[in-house]
Amino acid sequence: MAPLAVLAVVTALARLIGWLAGIGWLDSWPHATALGLAAMFALTASAHFLQPRRNALIAMVPPRLPNPSALVTLTGILELAGAVGLVIPATADLAAICLIALLVVMFPANVRAARADLGIKTMPLPLRTLVQVVFLAACAVVLVS
């Protein structure tokens, strides 16, 4: 639930600062959402490298995929790259598209983890699915800028 809170709080604060300070770039939902997503993906990427979450993520990787440890590292790097890409105006759209793809590709691991009761257990699958839709929608909002 922390990633959702980070997304919501950072997005709202960025938009509020943009409005109050008259910063035109921040005074838009797509740009404020890009900052919120960047903060969220930086947070979620940290779990790919720090224990005990790293081991929990490795446990979530479907057994038919090779080298779960390397896959968790790779997805963490991709999340960090996406976070950086979101805050660079020239790459924000591409980053949002790539993060949409990454969220879709990684979601089966969440389904497997929920069904097998392993990995990171922060919320039941129906709620996790709803939160995933929110993350996908936030990425789509960035694309309207």
Dihedral angle sign, alpha carbons of residues 55, 105, 95, 86: negative
Question: Count of domains in the chain?
Answer: 1
Domain that holds residue 60: 2-143
Residue 89 and residue 85: Cα distance in Å, rounded?
8
Q: Report pTM.
A: 0.92
**What tens digit of pLDDT does each residue of 71-88 get?**
999 999 999 999 999 999
pLDDT digits (tens, 9 = 90+) for 101-136: 999 999 988 888 888 777 676 678 888 899 999 999
Whether 33 contacts 11, CB under 8 Å: yes
Helical spans, DSSP H, in the chain: 2-21, 29-46, 53-60, 68-87, 92-116, 125-143
Q: What is the dihedral of CA 4, 9, 75, 1, to 10 degrees?
A: -30
